[in-house]
Amino acid sequence: MKNKVAMAFGSFDVLHPGHIRYLKGASRFGKLIVVVARDRSIKRLKGTAPLVDERSRREIIGSLRFVDRAVLGDRIGKWNDIYKIVARIRPDFLVFGYDQRVDLEYLRGFLLKHKLNCKVVRIGSYKAGKYKSSKLKKLIDAIH
């Protein structure tokens, strides 16, 4: 599948095994391009800034052996803006994690509008819940 291009998305603020499984799984669909959310986008969408800045998060993700390229996402104002990059890079697969928020209806319209022949895939959960980022941060908070 290495002549295909797969795209994955995330903030990847505090790296946990769920991220690794997600990206490893995504890489099976093709050459993997990972879109790392910008600091300002995270702050706007989630309300809090990430702990690790965007340059560093991109560097960490780009250091994983099954990631072909890590790029910073667009500066965005609302969730659906994350798909803008899809129209530029035109991957063969869009791969989402089991708990990622995806507006499938909007996304289908977007793909049609941009004449993108792109399969949307969801990767199954890995110990669902245990390593969800939000839970991990709560755990960090509880310990310290």
3-state DSSP assignment of residue 140: helix
Residue of 22, 16, 23 whose CA lies nearest to 62:
23
Question: How far is it, in rounded angstroms, from Cα 63 to Cα 103?
Answer: 29
Q: Which stretch binds a second copy (CB under 8 A): 3-11, 36-44, 111-119, 132-140?
A: 132-140
Question: What is the per-residue binding string for a second copy in 59-78, x denoting contact by CB under 8 A?
Answer: xx--xxxx------------
Q: Does 47 bind a second copy (CB under 8 A)?
A: no
Among 2, 56, 75, 120, binds a second copy (CB under 8 A): 56
- CB of 54 vs a second copy, minimal distance in Å: 11
Q: Does 144 bind a second copy (CB under 8 A)?
A: yes
How far apart, in Å, are the Cα atoms of 40 and each of 59, 71, 75?
17, 15, 7
